[in-house]
Every structure is written in structure tokens, then in C-alpha cells.
Amino acid sequence: MLAAMVVATLATLGWWIWGPAGTAVELTRRSWRLQIEVEQLRSEADSAWCDEMPADVTDVTRRMAADPTGRRAEPGEHCRFTRLAWRRSWIVKTEGGPDDRPTWPSPPLRVAPPGEPGSERLGKREAFFEVQLSDGGDHLWTCRISEAHWKTLRVGTRWRVPVNRYGAANCAAMYESRI
């Protein structure tokens, strides 16, 4: 009885030390998301030294001031002004799975008269191709991968993926360790 317990303990320890690395996982879901930031032309307050002020400003007020940074030896004119700037306003996205063709969203954009705030334009685009991995128990991991790699994967594929002591999967190792 004692010998069987020792053998079982040594076998378990041996499997833990010399067995395959990583956690066995299965691909359970594939999804994609394409999103675009929509920017809006907004009027915003700003300030600068008058000799460094941008050219396209309005509502300028001037005052004499000393430079608190010490880069200017003499007091100079400091200006407060209003200017138009493009700022992120909202994000539009489309989502889908392996059976859906990824398409960029095309939101309706507001158009204001030139030089006035309110117009919108399309900004930064981002594409996310993700797979969900499960160890068959309570653990799920979501990995972002390239579109080319995402297209080659199928639900049900199995791997061994390294998982650190904090429970984070090393998604990059997924490329090398198919089982």
C-alpha cells in the first residue's frame, strides 16, 4: 500500500516536471470586430505665448505675463484663444463570427458649414480577430491574433498553451503548440 502511494506520487511528480508544457485548451469560438473612431470638429479654449499662437484662432485676449518656466527672461504677451480641433466623439463598430464577412461600418456623418464646429469625419480604424480558448473547466481565455491566422483556425482545434501563475495565457505560443 505504501509502495503504491510512493509510485503514484512519483509518477504524478514526474508528469508535472517532464510532461508536456502548458495547459490543454480547445478553441471554442472565433469572432471579429472592426471599428472606426468618428471625430468631430470642436471649438476649444487654449493658450500660448502670443508669438507662438497658431494662425487659425479666434476670440483672442492678451495679457502681459512672466514665464513661470524661466525660458523667457522678460515678461511677454500671453494669449488665450479659441480654435477648432478634431477630437474623438464616438466609435462605430461591426462584429461577427466565422460565417460573416468582415465589413467596415459606414456611419452617417454630420456636415457643418466650412470653418464651423460640428462636422464629423472618420478617424482611426482598428480590426480585431479573436479566438476563445477553454480548458474544459472554468477557465476561458480570449486571444487576439492576425486575420490570416484567424482564417486558418477551426472550432474544436486543440493546443497546449502556457499559462502563467496569474492565469494569463501566452497567446503567442498558440502558433507553435498544436496537439
Stated pTM of the model: 0.70
119 touches 110 (CB < 8 A):
yes
How far apart (Å, rounded) are the C-alpha atoms in residues 146 and 31? Answer: 12
Residue 7 in domain: no
pLDDT score recorded for residue 24: 83
Domain containing 160 equals 19-175
> How many independent structural domains does the chain possess?
1
pLDDT score recorded for residue 11: 56
Residue 14 in domain: no
All three cell numbers of 45: 479654449
DSSP letter assigned to residue 173: G
How far apart (Å, rounded) are the C-alpha atoms in residues 112 and 47? Answer: 26
Interval 69-123: pLDDT, tens: 888 888 999 999 999 999 999 999 999 999 999 999 999 999 999 888 999 999 9
How far apart (Å, rounded) are the C-alpha atoms in residues 134 and 132? Answer: 7
Strand, coil or helix: 30: strand
Interval 2-44: pLDDT, tens: 777 776 676 555 545 554 457 888 899 999 999 999 999 999 9
